């Protein structure tokens, strides 16, 4: 027996405002991403109940403008924090650019986030590759030196697939001790 799906209720400007604020209480996000989520909700409501898409889109934009004014939505802070988090987790700069572009953040904001990491005294590329090496137990984290040498090509390939340049990957795998890697991690 097929399940009946509940249709979304009609949506208005107040509902859009509540939805945006509710989302922001749980997640920190970019303006473009929140707009995409709200417009998806608007489109579902219009498909089920009808309505004026342009008027609701204007309500979405007005809500977002207000949230930017009061400081609840800030793309610069979001980009900086997200870049720092991704680098700390071992994500390469190329993948950082891709992920933040999918959230609607341009290259300038991503570069500003990477520059903020550099200002903290860390090289984002080396910090990220060291975090990746530690998480995947590559290079210096391999206990047996013979295994380490035998697996070097596979380790380089894994780092390449993760978006790290050959030079950065080689520098990370050429480190002799775990302490060297740990000293380069972003704190």
Q: Residue 89 pLDDT > 80, yes or no?
A: yes
Q: What is the pLDDT of residue 177?
A: 87
Structural tokens at position 118: 């550099």
Q: Are 117 and 127 contacting, i.e. CB atoms less than 8 angstroms apart?
A: yes
pTM: 0.81
Give the pair of three-digit tokens for residue 69: 């004014």
Instruction: Give me the mean pLDDT over the 167-179 stretch.
Output: 91
Residue 79 contacts residue 110 (beta carbons within 8 Å)? yes
Confidence of residue 58 (pLDDT cuts 50, 70, 90): very high
Tokens of 183: 């000293």
Long-range pairs for 119-122 at CB < 8 Å and ≥24 separation?
120/186, 122/87, 122/184, 122/186, 122/187
Q: How confident is the model at residue 160 (pLDDT cuts 50, 70, 90)?
A: very high
97 CB neighbour count, 10 Å cutoff:
18
Please choose, from the candidates 168, 27, 178, the residue with its C-alpha nearest in 3D space to the C-alpha of residue 91: 168
Is 74:68 a contact under the CB 8 Å cutoff?
yes
């Amino acid at each position: 027996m097929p399940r009946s799906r509940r249709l979304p209720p009609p949506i208005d400007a107040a509902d859009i405002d509540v939805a945006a604020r509710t989302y922001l209480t749980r997640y920190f996000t970019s303006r473009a991403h929140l707009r995409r989520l709200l417009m998806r909700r608007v489109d579902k409501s219009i498909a089920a109940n009808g309505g004026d898409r342009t008027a609701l889109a204007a309500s979405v934009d007005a809500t977002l403008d207000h949230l930017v004014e009061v400081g609840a939505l800030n793309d610069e802070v979001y980009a900086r924090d997200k870049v720092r988090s991704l680098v700390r987790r071992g994500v390469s700069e190329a993948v950082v650019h891709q992920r933040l572009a999918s959230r609607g953040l341009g290259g300038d904001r991503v570069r500003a986030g990477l520059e903020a990491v550099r200002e903290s005294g860390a090289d984002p590329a080396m910090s990220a590759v060291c975090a990746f090496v530690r998480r995947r137990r590559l290079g210096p984290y391999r206990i047996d030196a013979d295994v380490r040498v035998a697996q070097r090509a596979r380790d380089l390939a894994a780092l390449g697939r993760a978006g790290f340049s050959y030079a950065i990957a080689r520098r990370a795998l050429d480190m002799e001790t775990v302490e060297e890697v740990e000293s380069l991690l972003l704190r």
